Chains A and B, each alone.
Chain A
Amino acid sequence: GEDVEQSLFLSVREGDSSVINCTYTDSSSTYLYWYKQEPGAGLQLLTYIFSNMDMKQDQRLTVLLNKKDKHLSLRIADTQTGDSAIYFCADRTGGGNKLTFGTGTQLKVEL
């Protein structure tokens, strides 16, 4: 089945850019999502990209999609302490309703 992988941890300094990476295996992916989970809470959608796009920008967030390499990244500009959270990429494939989630990347922002 579909596999979505992420590195487990990322540490950055406040004000720097963060780049969180994700790889997936299913070439028929249609939508790819980035979710954020703050401590003790559920997941919230941050942004998404449709599979026919290479890039999407939304304020401090930039999503890059390389379909050839099946690689997705989320760049957060001017990272703040409030960005500390776990970030999940998720992949919708085929015509179903299900999403496949990655393992999550814990982002720690240091002063």
Chain B
Amino acid sequence: NAGVTQTPKFQVLKTGQSMTLQCAQDMNHNSMYWYRQDPGMGLRLIYYSASEGTTDKGEVPNGYNVSRLNKREFSLRLESAAPSQTSVYFCASSGQGEYLYEQYFGPGTRLTVT
């Protein structure tokens, strides 16, 4: 099992460009999440999807859109990138069982917007 995978690992964008960050999980989890990590601010939730076909805003959704393509995949889109979106982006998923709400994280995408 690969767990949670993210592509790309690194990306540099110019202001105003668009891009989509991809995330996939092979653990048959219902819930998926997108976070951004900035120094001194911890992880902030951008969007999440409690189950296939649903998405909800998190703490910092402005400037982002998401698509839950199927149970495995959850993508994050930046329509018009801004320097304030320079960050490390993490995708996570969570499922059922003893650790009902344990979240499993991908390795992250490091995005720089110039």
Mark A residues whose CB is within 8 Å of B: 1, 4, 6, 8, 31, 33, 40-45, 48, 88, 90, 92, 96-99, 101-104
Mark B residues whose CB is within 8 Å of A: 4, 31, 33, 35, 40-45, 48, 50, 58-59, 90, 92, 94, 99, 101-108
* Chain A: CB-nearest residue to B94: A97
Q: Nearest-CB distance from B91 to chain A (Å)?
A: 9
14 more contacts with CB within 8 A, not counting A96-B50, A98-B48, A101-B35, are A4-B42, A6-B42, A8-B40, A42-B92, A45-B103, A90-B103, A97-B48, A97-B50, A98-B45, A98-B58, A99-B101, A99-B103, A101-B42, A103-B40
Interface of A is mostly: strand
* Chain B: CB-nearest residue to A43: B105
- List the A side residues contacting B42 at CB < 8 Å: 4, 6, 88, 101-104
